[in-house]
Amino acid sequence: MSETRIDVLVAGGGVVGAALALALARARIDVALVETRAPPAFDAADVDLRVFAVSPASAALLSRIGAWPRIQALRVSPYRRMRVWERGATDELAFDAGLVGAAELGHIVEDRALRAGLWAALDAEPGVRRACPARVVRCEAGASDARVELDDGTRWRPRLVVAADGAHSPLRDGAGVDLESMPYGERAVVAHVRTERPHEATAWQRFTPAGPLAFLPLADGRVSVVWSLKDARATAVLAMDDDAFTAALTAASDARLGRVLATTPRAAFPLRMQLARRYAAPRLALVGDAAHTVHPLAGQGLNLGLLDAAALAEVLSDAAGARADLGAPAVLARYEHWRRGDVARAAHAFGLLDGLFRSDFGPLPFLRRAGMGLVQRIGPLKREFALHASGFAGRVPVLARRLG
């Protein structure tokens, strides 16, 4: 059977994989995208429980690859402010979009809208070859390229394979990449709720005794709840009837939006930190959940993955411009050096914060409150926190830099 030669094969057509394929095509790199199933058509009457906080840097990337206008046409909810506080504290952290010189601090977007918008952009991009439904069943690295076979029998000879195939990545495991893995013993309980007062285009987060609780603004006026709870507590919360659940949310949120009046059915997702010890192997690069999963308390998991895509696209575009081998160890080392340390530091910081705010040991409550008050009062320090949340801190890939 014949083999198709190509520059890059991206395995996984979720948000990060689709964004990377679009970015590579726009850099005139010959790319194929392999995905087991296309996303379902977007249904405006059906609101997805799984939502993401898309940072301004991620929105800039999505705009430059032609996806953001299509996503906005479906449904997004911008937020301009963020309020963070903990139990018993009089001080809070208050962030506004003006801190980072942006119109918004971010957008709350449903997973289904992100995928549908990205695949609409793929439909309009002739530079991306798609194999769907299909999956990789064999991947072997060679000296000058890789040999990839799909379950439909087609064969490819890419210079580079990118694993965008999720937290349980078969490509990563097949390449023998080890993981640093730590289960949190927690689940994120999610639902959409209606509150007595409007959400004010604000993301609200309280550190409760049970775990961090986020109220995220939705376009229809409701809020998306993400409550990270230890497994036993999550089980109990999932078993509550709606009246008990809404009462628990009202109390846990300090009734900042008044009473919680109504809720959708709930779902829960297990949480764990998982970091690949390498982001590259022979003829293979890892992006998104294949490379890392982090605690959701800062809402940065998807944004870290999209920064992976932007950084890898930049590295490969530079290599293509220099007529270098896109899968060469030196090229992949540049990507790994750029992303792996930044993500590891962020992941460990998120886990540390989760543990820190759950504990009332010794002087910790006083130190937490003093620290929050210090950040709130020192403008440059607060701005640095806001820049990290927006994705504009540190070394930012060209595709994710500010628009305009």
- Domain boundaries, given as residue ranges, for the chain: 3-80+108-180+274-400, 185-271
Query: 63: buried, middle or exposed (CB in 10 Å: 19+, 13-18, 0-12)?
Result: middle
Sequence letter at residue 311: A
pLDDT at 296: 81
pLDDT at 9: 98
**Measured distance CA(203)–CA(270) in Å, rounded:** 23
3-state secondary structure at position 327: coil
pLDDT at 285: 98
pLDDT at 337: 97
pLDDT at 33: 98
Strand partners, 203: 82
**Measured distance CA(336)–CA(345) in Å, rounded:** 14
pLDDT at 390: 83
**Measured distance CA(216)–CA(205) in Å, rounded:** 8
**Are the C-beta atoms of 10 and 35 separated by less than 8 Å?**
no
| Residue pLDDT, tens place only, 118-166 | 999 999 999 999 999 999 999 999 999 999 999 999 999 999 999 999 9
**Selection from 174, 175, 135, 176 nearest residue 156 by Cα:** 135
| Residue pLDDT, tens place only, 332-344 | 999 999 999 989 9
**Measured distance CA(222)–CA(110) in Å, rounded:** 13
pLDDT at 377: 54
Superfamily of domain 3-80+108-180+274-400: FAD/NAD(P)-binding domain (3.50.50.60)
**Measured distance CA(81)–CA(77) in Å, rounded:** 12
**Selection from 39, 121, 27 nearest residue 72 by Cα:** 121
pLDDT at 54: 96
**Measured distance CA(400)–CA(178) in Å, rounded:** 29
pLDDT at 158: 98
Give the architecture (CATH level 2) of 185-271: 2-Layer Sandwich (3.30)
Sequence letter at residue 106: G
Ramachandran angles phi, psi of 343, nearest 5°:
-70, -40
**Are the C-beta atoms of 306 and 396 separated by less than 8 Å?**
no
pLDDT at 56: 93
3-state secondary structure at position 290: helix
In this prediction, the residues of the chain whose per-residue pLDDT falls under 70 are: 1, 87-91, 298, 350-386
Residue 85: which H helix or E strand, with range?
A: strand 81-86
